[in-house]
Amino acid sequence: MNRTKGDEEEYWNSSKFKAFTFDDEDDELSQVVNSLRDFVDDDDADDDLERVSWTVEEGNGRRWCPSESVACSFSALSDTSAKSYAPELGRPKGEYRDYSNDWSPSDTVRRLRKGKVCSLERFRSLQDKLQLLEEAVSMHDGNVITAVLIFLKRTLSKEILFRELEVRQVALRHLIHFLKEIGDQKLLLDLFRFLDRTEELALTHYREHLNIQDPEKRKEFLKTCIGLPFSAEDSAHIQDHYTLLERQIIIEANDRHLESAGQTEIFRKHPRKASILNMPLVTTLFYSCFYHYTEAEGTFSSPVNLKKTFKIPEKQYVLTALAARAKLRAWHDVDALFTTKNWLGYTKKRAPIGFHRVVEILHKNSAPVQILQEYVNLVEDVDTKLNLATKFKCHDVVIDTCRDLKDRQQLLVYRSKVDKGSAEEEKIDAILNSSQIRWKN
Amino acid sequence: MAAHLSYGRVNLNVLREAVRRELREFLDKCAGSKAIVWDEYLTGPFGLIAQYSLLKEHEVEKMFTLKGSRLPAADVKNIIFVVRPRLELMDIISENVLSEDRRGPARDFHILFVPRRSLLCEQRLKDLGVLGSFIHREEYSLDLIPFDGDLLSMESEGAFKECYLESDQTSLYHAAKGLMTLQALYGTIPQIFGKGECARQVANMMIRMKREFTGSQNSIFPVFDNLLLLDRNVDLLTPLATQLTYEGLIDEIYGIQNSYVKLPPEKFAPKKQGDGGKDLPTEAKKLQLNSAEELYAEIRDKNFNAVGSVLSKKAKVISAAFEERHNAKTVGEIKQFVSQLPHMQAARGSLANHTSIAELIKDVTTSEDFFDKLTVEQEFMSGIDTDKVNSYIEDCIAQKHPLIKVLRLVCLQSVCNSGLKQKVLDYYKREILQTYGYEHILTLYNLEKAGLLKPQTGGRNTYPTVRKTLRLWMDDVNEQNPTDISYVYSGYAPLSVRLAQLLSRPGWRSIEEVLRILPGPHFEERQPLPTGLQKKRQPGENRVTLIFFLGGVTFAEIAALRFLSQLEDGGTEYVIATTKLINGASWIESLMEKPF
């Protein structure tokens, strides 16, 4: 079947139909028809009325479901189609009254729970409404509690609603959940403000940024979060979040330009895989160590600047810089990262993260053995050193360490692991044959 | 049909049949040919109670998953949407319905809410202008779904968050409803015990529902002797630890969904000669895991370290059985051998599968990182160094291991220390936010609200008292032939199960002090039975306890309870129910904040 276009438009646009929108407070009809029962009732007539009227129009025997009341179906059949779009108006008055019978709050709630037709509109006094709410809460059925809350939200002023819920914690929590669910951010914020739940207020506001895709808009939004009543720790993080995105926008614009211009070697050799926008701080630092390592502190994109602005701990900084420079196989930079000069001008190797970690990271970035060897040698703990050297096949380190430990047995074991006739084997043999060493075993 | 559901002490096929009947009745209400449009999340749970054949018998000709815009073409009279009551799904449904109306022959639309109709959703449909399009809008109270002979789950993924973060009682209400259904089928449960705020509420709801239900006296002889309601937040520790039973590890590593697991296919490639390993399957291997499979029933609850020896013994038995054919001389013998062949082949297939799975798991459990992680977990649980920044966790953050893994460890440390020192907490927080993104402030806030990650207040760490009194840490643990539930975590005895164990013997009175430390009230209620229904236990007959975990349960906890059920002098057999089967990762994930 096909409804005619006119029908269809009337269906979607007719003012009568609109009168049924639940939240439409301005409509004078709403007092009469905007009852919960519209969406509560299950097998009552109003939906099926439409069906029936189509059946009549087309005469194709659409199945009539047996659970409906016969009275309704007859009244429907005799209705004009226009009326059937606003079924409740079309229903005989007497029947309507039947539905809005004098149910007590507890009866009403019980009926709601069973999914039966029930109008809440007749509860007009505040006292009645609250009693209704209390009945619903005592039933524990979240579905019914929410239904009553929707009714209260619509018929009570915000101030009264909040005031009454403040002393009804269960209902209050349901309202908060419900507002989150439907995304009524504004009322939710008002509520938190009223309840003086400042941290939740701040976080709820902040949460909204997740839904803003445009970086500029997101940045502007984050700006509005600064100064909200977060905990002291979180305040600093929120400020950093804003600053970071602000930086990223600048860096992104700049680098996209550089990359497309094709004049900068690093971007030609290593095209960017993704935009830096909305990446975490450490990722941003990695990016900056990768593409902007040598920049002076004055630029927004320089690693040193990031480190200062966000008070990145030395350990974190070294770790990230190491990973980035190792990935580029810039061994010289790696070397510089761990070289410190004392006041006499002597240089010394120092790693705040421990050289064992340095070795692991270098290995992950497939550093050549010569480089690895150098850092394995700097590991202080002998056992760790030996383990790492064995794991990464730094033969010289293993052999020398065994020699220094005067551990003949271990050296013999290692000899069986190296290639026959290799330089390593020769070296081991030379040491084993040396008469200079007093072996401990 | 689902024989494994009737293996246990309580025949859960009765429940399965009841829910199947309800489904058939609904389908028959919509006369004529039908297509079902599924909320994808529901297909798993539904698969456990009805196969396609049942639907087909009731004229379901097509099935689609719920997606935006238009419905695929289907020449059927009825379109049935089977959905959870969620607002975002209502939007999709209305899109479907609106685009459908404009073309082709008219169809009847119906909507089946699982497990409950929602006024909120119906209002949304109304706002979208489609509410009137549905002939039947009904609910299908699939509250508790039978997973195994002793296991029921509501599979409600948001339950923990709703209960402990939002303090929304809806899923508790569903739990109570589910318990009422169980009592209608298996008789009134005479005694109810509970620990925790939510447990108290569910008990209240049950008592109230029973009072309202006075009309018909339940005349079924009670199958369950008692019910134990446990809040998940009474024991936040257990799900955070890595499960070490076979089933637990499968879940930890691959995730078991509605009793199915998807595994990397390489290990399951049929070994044919001359294939040269060319066309390896690329699609994940999907296996169903439940007690219907004999071998799985035997090994699922063992510590993983005890699985290998069982598998190799089985291998010997099976190959010996196949060797038997050489001894079969007479026609009679050969006939007998042949008759056993299908069973033997099934056993061999099952053995091959589990050998492959065990190999996959072993690759993980023998890795250095797994060992390091486990060491840290066990240190925390036995009370070592819980009050300072842990270097392994620091390393994980520095190497950007998955955030969930990091959060799980940090929460474990916090729980084992009754909260972290402010300085330690702030340090972790800063590291996490800088490495994974500032937006995770929201997730950290949720974890704090749920009590998983919090500053220590009052300056006292109560965990050692709880640990010692309940003997949560056992130094000598026998993984091969366990004597205590602590084998499921190789040393740690799950707190929740210890509470159940102590309740059955010698009773909670012995641990009043600890019960006061743990959150929420503990209580006992009796539901009087008419004299005719009172049970006279035979000497030596075990009690049957239904234990309901509000907020989720892990496979390792289930294994521990099964271990207790099987103890010769245990005295109690357990049937387990929960709002959701969880592991640490899925649990933490349910608390993470995502865009709307």
Range in A24-33, A355-364, B134-143, B296-305 with the lowest mean pLDDT = A24-33
Average pLDDT of the residues of chain B: 91
The reply to whether B454 touches chain A by the CB within 8 Å rule is no
**Nearest residue to B113 via CA among B136, B97, B96:** B136
Instruction: Please say if the pLDDT value at position B114 is more than 70.
Output: yes
Contact A143 B441 (CB under 8 A): no
Cis peptide, bond prior to residue B506, ω within 30 of zero? yes
| Partner A, chain B 559-588, Cβ-Cβ below 8 Å | none
Give the separation between CA B282 and CA B264, rounded to whole angstroms. Answer: 8
Per DSSP, A210 falls in state G
**Strand B108-113 vs strand B78-83: parallel, antiparallel, or unpaired?**
parallel
- Please, are residues B289 and B250 in contact by the beta-carbon 8 Å criterion? yes
| B176–A8 CB contact, under 8 Å | no
How does pLDDT run across B401-454, given as a tens digit for each residue? 999 999 999 999 999 999 999 999 999 999 999 999 999 999 999 999 999 999
Which chain B residues are within 8 Å of A20, Cβ to Cβ? Answer: 126
Q: Which of residues 362-421 of A touch B (CB under 8 A)?
A: none
Closest CA to B200 of A351, A140, A168: A140
Beta bridge partners of B138: B112
pLDDT for res B359: 96
- Residues of A within 8 A of B206 (CB-CB) are none
* Helix (H) / strand (E) containing A347: strand A347-349
Q: With contacts defined as CB-CB under 8 Å, which chain A residues touch B168?
A: 142, 173-174, 177
How many other CB atoms are there within 10 angstroms of residue A314's CB atom?
10
A311 in contact with chain B, both atoms CB, cutoff 8 A: no
Confidence class for position A31, pLDDT limits 50, 70, 90:
very low
CB hemisphere CA count around B392 (13 angstroms): 22
> CA–CA distance from B269 to each of A37, B105, B280, B348 (Å)?
58, 47, 6, 15
Q: B485 or A50: whose pLDDT is higher?
A: B485
**Token pair 């040193």 in the structure block, residue:** A304
What value does the mean pLDDT take over residues A404-425? 88
Can you tell me the distance from the alpha carbon of A331 to that of A372, in angstroms, rounded to the nearest whole number? Answer: 10
Q: Is B28 on the interface with A (CB under 8 A)?
A: no
Q: B564 with B501: CB under 8 angstroms?
A: yes
Q: How far is B128 from chain A (nearest CA, A)?
A: 9
Kindly write down the DSSP assignment for every residue of A120-147, as one continuous string: -TT--SHHHHHHHHHHHHHHT-HHHHHH
Pick from B102, B116, B437: which is nearest to A143 by CB? B116
Q: Going along B506-590, which residue ranges are E strands? A: 522-526, 543-550, 572-578
Chain B contact present for A177, CB below 8 A: yes
d(CA B154, nearest CA chain A) in Å: 17
Say what the pLDDT of residue B8 is: 81
Selected residue with higher pLDDT from B278 and A175: A175
Encode pLDDT of A232-249 as tens digits: 889 999 999 999 999 999
* B345 DSSP β-pair partners: none
Cα R_g (chain A), whole angstroms: 38
Cβ neighbors of A6 (< 8 A, separation 6 or more) are none
Chain mean position to CA B195: 20
φ and ψ of B194, to 5 deg: -160, 155
d(CA A343, nearest CA chain B) in Å = 32
Q: Which of A23, A47, A179, A230 should one mutate to test binding to chain B, selecting the residue with the greatest count of B CBs within 10 A?
A: A47
Name the residue facing A140 among B29, B167, B173 (closest C-beta): B173
For strand B522-526 and strand B285-288, is the pairing parallel, antiparallel, or unpaired?
unpaired
Dihedral angle of Cα B241, B244, B245, B250, to the nearest 10 degrees: 90
DSSP-derived letter for residue B113 is: E
Of B137, B208, B398, the CB nearest to A319: B398
Q: What is the pLDDT of residue B424?
A: 96
Answer whether A147 sits within 8 Å of B119, measured CB to CB.
yes
Query: Which of A43, A51, A146 has the CB atom closest to B120's CB atom?
Result: A146
**CB B297, CB B562: distance < 8 Å:** no
DSSP assignments along B284-324, one per residue: PEEEE-STTSHHHHHHTTSBGGGHHHHHHHHHHHHHHHHHH
CA distances from B310 to A167, B307, B342, B348, B560 (A): 60, 5, 22, 14, 19
- Cβ–Cβ below 8 Å for B126 and A210: no
pLDDT digits (tens, 9 = 90+) for B85-112: 999 999 999 999 988 756 567 789 999 9
Asked whether the beta carbons of residue B123 and residue A209 sit closer than 8 angstroms, the reply is: no
Closest C-alpha to B472, from B460, B483, B482, B463: B463
Q: Tokens standing for B155?
A: 């599979």
Chain A residues touching residue B429 (CB < 8 angstroms): 233, 237
A211 contact partners, CB below 8 Å, separation of at least 6? B595, B596
Q: Which residue has the higher pLDDT, A45 or B527?
A: B527
Q: What percent of chain A has pLDDT over 90?
A: 41
A181, A205, A319: which to substitute to probe chain B, counting the most B Cβ within 10 Å? A181
Phi, psi of A174 (to 5 degrees): -65, -40
Of the candidates B116, B430, B439, the beta carbon closest to that of A210 is on: B439
Task: Give B36-47 pLDDT, tens digit per residue.
Answer: 999 999 999 999
* Candidate ranges A49-63, A250-264, B528-542; pick with highest mean pLDDT: A250-264
| DSSP at A328 | T
CA atoms within 13 A on the CB side of A208: 21
User: What is residue B104's predicted lDDT score, i.e. its pLDDT?
Assistant: 66
Q: Which residue from A minimizes the CA distance to B162?
A: A177
Q: Residue A183's closest chain B neighbor by CA?
A: B596
The shortest C-alpha distance from B103 to chain A (Å) reads: 7
Output the 3-class SS for B152-221: EECCCCCHHHHHHCCCCCHHHHHHHHHHHHHHHHHCCCCEEEEECHHHHHHHHHHHHHHHHCCCCCCCCC
Identify the residue among A141, A170, A288 best suited for mutation to test binding to B, counting B beta carbons within 10 A and taking the highest: A141
Report the alpha-carbon distance of residue B87 to residue B584 in Å, rounded: 28
Say how far apart CA B145 and CA A357 lie, in whole Å.
49
- The pLDDT of residue A270 is 93
A139 to chain B: closest CA residue: B205
Q: Of A193, A194, A220, A198, which Cα lies nearest the Cα of A208? A: A220
Residue B91: Cβ-neighbour burial (10 angstroms; 0-12, 13-18, 19+): middle
Which residues 126-145 in chain B show a CB within 8 A of chain A? Answer: 126-127, 129, 131-139
pLDDT surpassing 60 at residue B210: yes
Q: In what order do the strands lie in the sheet with B78-83?
A: B60-65, B34-38, B78-83, B108-113, B134-139
Residue B433 C-alpha, separation from nearest chain A C-alpha, in angstroms: 8
Nearest by CB to residue B593, choosing from A177, A207, A353, is A207
Tell me: pLDDT of A343 over 50. Answer: yes
How far is B263 from A100, CA to CA, in rounded Å?
58
- Tokens describing residue B50: 């009805």
Read off φ and ψ for residue A321, nearest 5 degrees: -60, -45
**Inter-chain contact A63–B435, Cβ cutoff 8 Å?**
no
Is B203 within 8 Å of B229 (Cβ atoms)? yes
Asked if A180 contacts A208 with a C-beta cutoff of 8 angstroms, the reply is no
Of A435 and B484, the structure prediction assigns the larger pLDDT to: B484
> Which of A118, A140, A231, A307 to mutate to test binding with chain B, by most B CBs within 10 Å of its CB?
A140
Task: Note which residues in 251-310 of chain A have CB less than 8 A from chain B.
Answer: 278-282, 310
| Residue B393 touches partner A, C-beta closer than 8 Å | no
Which pLDDT does position B270 carry in this prediction? Answer: 66
Q: Is B108 helix (H, G, I), strand (E, B) or coil?
A: strand
Do B398 and A279 lie within an 8 Å CB cutoff? Answer: no
Which pLDDT score is estimated for B326?
A: 83
- pLDDT grade, residue A46 (50/70/90)? very low
Supply the angle between the helices B555-566 and B246-254 in degrees, to the nearest 10.
170
What residues of chain B, 304 to 363, have a C-beta less than 8 Å from chain A?
Answer: none
d(CA B557, CA B235): 11
Whether residue A146 lies within 8 A of chain B, CB to CB, comes out as: yes
Angle at A94 between CA A88 and CA A96, to 5 degrees: 35
Cis link prior to B115 (omega < 30° from 0)? yes
pLDDT in tens, B380-412: 999 999 999 999 999 999 889 999 999 999 999
Task: Retrieve residue A85's tokens.
Answer: 């779009």
Asked if residue A20 has pLDDT above 70, the reply is no
B215 in contact with chain A, both atoms CB, cutoff 8 A? no
What are the pLDDT digits (tens) for A298-320?
A: 899 999 999 999 999 998 999 99
Is residue B294 pLDDT above 90, yes or no?
A: yes
Choose the closest CB to B132 out of A21, A40, A47.
Answer: A47
Helix or strand holding residue A403 (H, E): helix A395-405
* Both structure tokens of A200: 């939740």
Residue-by-residue DSSP string for B556-570? HHHHHHHHHHH-TT-
Q: What's residue B245's pLDDT?
A: 98
pLDDT tens by residue, A73-132: 333 333 333 333 333 333 333 334 444 456 788 888 888 877 666 778 888 899 999 999
Residues near A252 by Cβ (< 8 Å), separated by ≥ 6? A215, A275, A276, A277
What is the reported pLDDT for A79? 33
Q: Do the Cβ atoms of B24 and B49 come closer than 8 Å?
A: no
Which ranges constitute the DSSP H helices of B382-421?
A: 391-398, 403-415
Q: Which pLDDT band, with edges at 50, 70 and 90, does A393 fall under?
A: confident
Give me the pLDDT at residue A16, please. 36
* Chain A partners within 8 Å of B594 (Cβ): 210
The pLDDT tens digits of the residues spanning B580-595 come to 999 999 999 999 987 6
Residue-level pLDDT at B103: 58
Query: Any CB–CB contact under 8 A between B423 and chain A?
Result: no
Hey, what are A12's tokens?
């979607």
Which two structure tokens, joined as six digits, stand for A238?
């929120």
**Cα dihedral sign for B405, B409, B411, B415?**
positive
Residues of A in contact with B172 (CB under 8 A): 140
Residue B330 token pair: 């007479």
Task: Give me the residue label for tokens 């580029």.
Answer: A328
What digits encode the pLDDT tens for the residues A320-342?
A: 999 999 999 999 999 999 988 77
**A336: Cβ contacts below 8 Å, ≥ 6 apart:** none
Chain B residues in contact with A141 (beta carbon < 8 A):
170, 173
pLDDT at B195: 98
Terminal Cα-to-Cα distance of chain B (whole angstroms):
41
